Amino acid sequence: MRRVKAVESTLTVANYLKENADLLANKIVDDIIKKFGFQVPPNDILQAKKVYAEFLEFLSESIDCKEGSVPDKLVEWSRDNGKKTAAKHNRISDILIRYPDTRMVFADFIMNISLEHGLGTKDVVLILKRVHHMLDVSLNETVLAFERRSEELLLNAKKELRELSTPIVPIQDGLAVLPLIGSIDTERTEHLMNGVLPKIPEMNIERLIIDFSGIVAIDTEVAANIFNVYRVLGLLGIDVFVTGLRPELAINAVSEGIDFTSIKTFASVKQAIESIRSYS
């Protein structure tokens, strides 16, 4: 009989949390800000109150769940928060920095509500365990989703940067320049071979000038791969001209066995264009 009454009291707390989620969330957020003196913009306060109201509803569902389980909606909700935080280019520390203090206030708040509804020590402990478990699961899912989304955004940004740093610039019909800018590493070389090279025949280019003058750093292994572009394009019937090759890079390339004898080289793009036009 006593256990039945305890269960009824626990369900009463669950219903109370669900029915008063908005009001309780307002009080919790206000208490957190007041107690710890957080400087929070008004829009963030409104968002925090919405988040806590949703969390209280999840908690009310969790109270009636098997121990160790959490509502699926909480997991999805946490992941969504992580993705949104990453998409806004915020730092994960923006979430973590307030977490310990928030946990303390939240747990005290739930404990007081449970005691006010006549729950015994065992049931109060059970609810607090649910609170801490849900907070931990929510935080873990938020951080993991943040990291995954941040990594996706970073990869997309790198892809866009690679495409911007290896543009094919048409000069006139059948003639284009491929300026290589910045540092050339293995990743950018692979993009050049797999992303840029296949586009060249599609652009009806007959002559291509590869300009090295904007390169900050390049090692001989990468240089060898880039000069393989010359051979591939040659097989496709495209004339390739190399410009802006600095002496130190040329010396290193020759020492690595790269054969320049069949490659048309010029000091600048201007000289290459003038030479091409003189033979056209």
Give the CATH number, domain containing residue 218: 3.30.750.24
Counting the structural domains of the chain, the total is 2
Shared-domain flag, residues 188 and 266: yes
Shared-domain flag, residues 8 and 139: yes
Shared-domain flag, residues 175 and 263: yes
Rounded Cα distance between 82 and 90, Å, is 10
Rounded Cα distance between 181 and 188, Å, is 11
Shared-domain flag, residues 155 and 199: no
Query: Are the C-beta atoms of 227 and 258 separated by less than 8 Å?
Result: yes
More confident residue, 148 or 248: 148
Q: Write 65-68 long-range contacts (CB < 8 A, 24+).
A: 67/126, 67/129, 67/130, 68/133
- pLDDT given for residue 4 in this prediction: 45
Q: Tell me which of 95, 126, 161 is where a domain ends.
A: 161
Please give the average per-residue pLDDT across 48-59, as a whole number. Answer: 86
Residue 91 makes CB contacts below 8 A (sequence gap 6+) with none
Q: Which domain holds residue 109?
A: 2-161
Q: Give the helix/strand (H/E) hosting 14.
A: helix 2-19
Rg (CA), the chain: 32
Q: Tell me which of 161, 189, 205 is where a domain ends.
A: 161
Shared-domain flag, residues 151 and 183: no
Shared-domain flag, residues 94 and 195: no
Shared-domain flag, residues 235 and 115: no
Residue 171 makes CB contacts below 8 A (sequence gap 6+) with 177, 209, 273
Residue 131 has pLDDT above 60, yes or no: yes
More confident residue, 212 or 223: 212
Q: Tell me which of 98, 126, 161 is where a domain ends.
A: 161
Helix (H, G, I), strand (E, B) or coil at 213: strand
Looking at this protein, which amino acid is placed at residue 112?
A: N
- pLDDT given for residue 23 in this prediction: 93
Of 206, 192, 78, whose CA–CA distance to 146 is shortest? 78
- pLDDT given for residue 217 in this prediction: 62
